[in-house]
């Protein structure tokens, strides 16, 4: 069974993904794949260099994430186009690699951690169930500021470009409300869902 796990930034996707892994699921992390594609020598780097020019690369030849974030989220009026052009390069490569990893797994449950599942559309057909991790926006902001040391403004800029809570809920087969719950309680919720679905 294939589960697409999604949620807004800082909602707790990775935390929920770890619970599934502890139950024996195979985890496929699309963010980790995206990062590997954009390291120096990463498979996406030639296309990125061609599309955005040398300023998109750091001194090692990897994607300059700070530059890209600046272009995508901070430059006035620039945002969605830069983001769309980067995603047009990355998404087909991520699709192929996730497929490859899923084919290589013998686990009964495969969990794809896909932050942009709702935004990118294609994922809905690739999975049997969509699991959304949800929490209050203020909780997302607090978690991201604590973890990434970003400013509130930078966090809000990312949050506002993502799908809304209602858009995610509309796609969900189940929603885990990761608000005021301990990691143990969250794990219990995942266990209940796993019993229900498998």
Residues that bind ligand ATP (CB under 6 A): 7, 9-15, 115, 143, 147, 178, 181, 183, 186
* CB 94 within 8 Å of CB 30: yes
- Cβ-based nearer residue to ligand ATP, 4 or 7: 7
13 is in an annotated binding site: yes
- Cβ-based nearer residue to ligand ATP, 57 or 114: 114
80 is in an annotated binding site: no
Pull the structure tokens for residue 37: 């594609």
Q: Least distance in Å: CB of 117 to ligand ATP?
A: 12
Q: Least distance in Å: CB of 121 to ligand ATP?
A: 19
Pull the structure tokens for residue 52: 């955005």
- Cβ-based nearer residue to ligand ATP, 103 or 180: 180
**Residue 47 φ/ψ, nearest 5 degrees:** -70, -35
Q: Least distance in Å: CB of 51 to ligand ATP?
A: 25
Give the annotated binding-site residues for ATP. 10-15
Give the annotated binding-site residues. 10-15
């Amino acid at each position: 069974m294939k589960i697409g796990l999604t949620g807004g930034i800082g909602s707790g996707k990775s935390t929920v993904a770890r619970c599934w892994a502890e139950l024996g699921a195979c985890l496929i992390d699309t963010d980790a794949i995206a990062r590997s594609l954009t390291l120096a020598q990463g498979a996406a780097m030639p296309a990125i260099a061609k599309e955005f020019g040398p300023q998109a690369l750091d001194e090692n030849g990897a994607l300059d994430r700070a530059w890209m974030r600046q272009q995508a989220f901070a430059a006035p009026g620039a945002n969605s186009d830069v983001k769309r052009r980067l995603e047009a390069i990355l998404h087909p490569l991520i699709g192929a690699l996730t497929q490859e990893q899923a084919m290589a797994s013998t686990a009964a449950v495969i969990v794809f951690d896909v932050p942009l599942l709702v935004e990118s559309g294609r994922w809905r057909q690739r999975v049997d169930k969509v699991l959304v991790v949800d929490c209050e926006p203020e909780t997302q902001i607090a978690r991201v500021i604590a973890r990434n040391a970003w400013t509130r403004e930078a966090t809000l800029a990312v949050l506002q470009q993502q799908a809304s809570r209602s858009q995610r809920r509309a796609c969900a087969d189940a929603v885990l409300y990761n608000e005021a719950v301990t990691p143990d309680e969250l794990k219990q919720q995942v266990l209940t869902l796993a019993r229900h679905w498998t």
